[in-house]
Amino acid sequence: MTELARELLDGVNQNDYVKIRYGTDQNQDSAEGTVTGLTENFLTLTRADGGRLKIRVDDLRSLDMPPAPGNFAPPMSTQNFSPPLTQTVMPFVAGGLKIARKTVNLVPAAPYNFIARDWLEKIRDVKQNIFDQKLKRDVNNILASMKTAVKNRDIAYKYHDLRAKILSIWNDCDVDSDYETFYLMLGVLAVAAKEYANSFEPLIRVREYSLAAFAAASAAKYDFAEIFLFCALLSGQERTISRQVATVCAEKRDVTLLEEILDANRDDDNFCEQVAACAKLMFDVARVDIDLDIDENLSAYDTAKKLLDAFPENLRRDSGILNYWHEYQTYTFPEPKIVSEAPDYEAGRLTGRISSYNAQGAWGFISPEYFFHVGQIYDYTESGILLRKMLYLDLWQQLEVSFSLGESIKYPGRTAASGVELTEKGYEEAQQLLLTGKPAPIKHTGVVEAYFSMYSNGRVVSNVDGNTYLFKLDDIVDPWLKAFFRNINDRNIENQEIIFEAAGKKALNVCWHEPPEFYRESCEEFITDEDREIWQKFLTAQENADKKPELPAEDPYKLYRYVALPEVKSASDNEKPAPLAWRKDLPCE
């Protein structure tokens, strides 16, 4: 049994209802049914029509476990979502509202079904409206990478790289279809990688309120989830008021919110019946003793309207949700670019912090939307030269810099940071780093949980914090351990003890931790010269880690002379805003 098949079948038992995709990489088919047989080599399904299917487990490519046909809950693939409104439904209070007309019984909340593949298909449909061919090619490449990452189940590992690629096309977006594709990719990528907090703003900007509510609930941001779910009801994306939603409505007593939801869906009799039931529950919870003349033949809309109008003014509250809804309705995409024959750019200085730097390519990002190249750092000011030296010493982390916006050296025609140098505060931070040196990374010991030789990646569980980290074969610097994983055969891959450095969700500089000597001896013949060179560089870096960094006497990047670039507007009505503007603690700008 392959590692992929073993992982897919983990937790699958006799009589479980499953949906599978099987076959070769070139020729695949799908099927669903009840598991009636499962051995080390074969999986047997009984379909709804009574037919039986027997396939080799090594041919499995994906496996989901939806509810069997006829169950109320919709199919659940990647994860379940009980709507964020988790309060218990309050019991009916004796007395209270008295009306002749009956209201419907509200249903329990159903799980939300997020399937990454389906959302990627939606992005594919949306991007068909992109007219700029270069932008369309870039989007196709990013989308292909996302599909591959989802298929290989390493979307979390590749999240930051894919997000950076998406952000890099922002300046090429011009019309609404471009921006819709941009934000939808950002939002879906974040949800698929379980970086839920980063999905809220992109999804709201393309009005995907239901998915935003799911993401907020998954991130335990229940206040946000309530806002987004009510926006889904106002927009018509959600067509069901569950018992949990009705309970929250009853507690909030926001009559104005319910009135707007009712008016937005007044043509849907079934939905209006649900609003009427929700309004009746609000009377019961507030213990309002009133007798309303509502005939049993009155329409659903008029019943709900009459109930809401009758709710006492002194018991009404404003939940503030409508304020967010009205603000979201004002969100628009930037206006299309107006090309001028002789643009008159106004100089302006911005500040930010260096968020990443690629020493090999001599480029990086500032806070993190603005691209910069070493050739765009001043080479004639003290602050600029010191910044160049700090980048060379790999002591750039979060240094504050000032810059203007100009045309990129690496990508002509695109906006980038130009005239970069350290601010006064950044200069002080650099001096402090020279005294203390780069903070030593935290070393973790852990145990290899799984390794997938087909994709050359795996998972390790840390003994320090108990978290799971992802690693690739190239993240291993120990040549014996790399040879061990490269030539698996029948060796026991799992439970190998290792030492590594944690970087986000990744495990870097992975080394073996006290392995049996015969393991090392057996791997010796598979070690390449490149492996030994990487190992030697790693050891040298470890020896020099405690040494106080010394500034180079000359500019280490003197080959990259500063090139004065035409600056673009940094603060005007015609400048394109940053793609993301929400505060982290609020669901709005």
pLDDT at residue 573 in the model? 43
The answer to whether residues 190 and 134 belong to one domain is: yes
Least confident of 164-173, 466-475, 565-574: 565-574
Grouping H, G, I as helix, E, B as strand and the rest as coil, residue 69 is: coil
Q: CA separation (Å) from 548 to 232, 442, 462?
A: 56, 19, 30
The answer to whether residues 166 and 101 belong to one domain is: no
The answer to whether residues 356 and 389 belong to one domain is: yes
pLDDT at residue 101 in the model? 74
Name the residue range of residue 371's domain: 350-436
Who has greater pLDDT, 480 or 8?
A: 480
Torsion 104-107-109-114 (CA) sign = negative
CA 553 from centroid of its chain's CA atoms? 44
Least confident of 89-98, 257-266, 521-530: 89-98
pLDDT at residue 69 in the model? 55
The answer to whether residues 369 and 318 belong to one domain is: no
Of the three residues 191, 226, 261, the one that is the final residue of a domain is 226
Determine the Cα–Cα distance for residues 536 and 525; give it in Å rounded to an integer.
Answer: 18
Is residue 387's pLDDT more than 80?
yes
Q: What are phi and psi of 566, to 5 degrees?
A: -65, 130
Confidence band, pLDDT 50/70/90 cuts, at residue 279: confident
Q: 227 burial class (0-12, 13-18, 19+ CB within 10 angstroms)? A: buried
pLDDT at residue 583 in the model? 66
The answer to whether residues 244 and 167 belong to one domain is: no
Determine the Cα–Cα distance for residues 398 and 104; give it in Å rounded to an integer.
Answer: 57
Q: CA separation (Å) from 455 to 38, 107, 152?
A: 26, 44, 7
Report if residue 339 sits inside a domain: no
The answer to whether residues 106 and 116 belong to one domain is: no
Determine the Cα–Cα distance for residues 22 and 408; give it in Å rounded to an integer.
Answer: 47
Confidence band, pLDDT 50/70/90 cuts, at residue 92: very low
The answer to whether residues 123 and 207 belong to one domain is: yes
Q: CA separation (Å) from 478 to 28, 425, 471, 475, 532?
A: 38, 40, 13, 9, 8
Is residue 75's pLDDT more than 50?
no
Establish how many alpha carbons lie within 13 A of residue 149's alpha carbon, considering only the half-sphere containing its beta carbon. Answer: 23
Pair of tokens at residue 355: 């968020």
The answer to whether residues 451 and 530 belong to one domain is: yes
Looking at residue 267, the DSSP 8-state letter turns out to be T
Who has greater pLDDT, 34 or 93?
A: 34
Q: What are phi and psi of 133, to 5 degrees?
A: -65, -40
Who has greater pLDDT, 346 or 182?
A: 182
CA 494 from centroid of its chain's CA atoms? 29
- The three state secondary structure string of 198-233 is HHHHHHHHCCCHHHHHHHHHHCCCHHHHHHHHHHHH
Determine the Cα–Cα distance for residues 333 and 435; give it in Å rounded to an integer.
Answer: 46
Report if residue 560 sits inside a domain: no
Who has greater pLDDT, 258 or 543?
A: 258
Pair of tokens at residue 260: 């707007």
* Number of Cβ atoms within 10 Å of the Cβ of 586: 10
Report if residue 572 sits inside a domain: no
Report if residue 234 sits inside a domain: no
Report if residue 562 sits inside a domain: no
Confidence band, pLDDT 50/70/90 cuts, at residue 568: low
Find all residues with CB under 8 Å of 53, minimum gap 6, and list them: 31, 33, 44, 45, 47
- The three state secondary structure string of 143-172 is HHHHHHHHHHCCCCCCHHHHHHHHHCCHHH
Find all residues with CB under 8 Å of 248, minimum gap 6, and list them: 85, 87, 226
| CATH code of 476's domain | 2.40.50.140
Determine the Cα–Cα distance for residues 297 and 303; give it in Å rounded to an integer.
Answer: 9
| CATH code of 26's domain | 2.30.30.520
Confidence band, pLDDT 50/70/90 cuts, at residue 93: very low
Report if residue 582 sits inside a domain: no
Determine the Cα–Cα distance for residues 374 and 376; give it in Å rounded to an integer.
Answer: 5
Q: Are 383 and 427 in contact (CB under 8 A)?
A: yes
The answer to whether residues 447 and 532 belong to one domain is: yes
Torsion 255-261-267-273 (CA) sign = negative
The answer to whether residues 168 and 100 belong to one domain is: no
Report if residue 15 sits inside a domain: yes
Who has greater pLDDT, 349 or 440?
A: 349
Of the three residues 304, 331, 358, the one that is the final residue of a domain is 331
Domain count, the chain: 5
Tell me which H or E stretch contains 534: helix 529-544
Is residue 219's pLDDT more than 80?
yes
Is residue 25's pLDDT more than 70?
no
Least confident of 126-130, 205-209, 214-218, 513-517: 513-517
Q: Are 418 and 404 in contact (CB under 8 A)?
A: yes
């999804």: which residue's tokens? Answer: 203
Confidence band, pLDDT 50/70/90 cuts, at residue 587: confident
Of the three residues 381, 403, 436, the one that is the final residue of a domain is 436
Share of the chain above pLDDT 90, in %: 21
211: left (phi over 0), alpha (psi -120 to 50) or beta: alpha
The answer to whether residues 118 and 176 belong to one domain is: yes
Is residue 365's pLDDT more than 50?
yes
Determine the Cα–Cα distance for residues 247 and 85; give it in Å rounded to an integer.
Answer: 8
pLDDT at residue 182 in the model? 93
Torsion 128-132-136-137 (CA) sign = positive
pLDDT at residue 494 in the model? 63
Which residues lie across from 511 on neighbouring strands? 499
Report if residue 459 sits inside a domain: yes
Mean pLDDT of 130-140: 88
The answer to whether residues 37 and 126 belong to one domain is: no
Q: What does the angle CA 105 – CA 111 – CA 117 come to, to the nearest 5 degrees?
A: 140
Determine the Cα–Cα distance for residues 433 and 397; give it in Å rounded to an integer.
Answer: 9
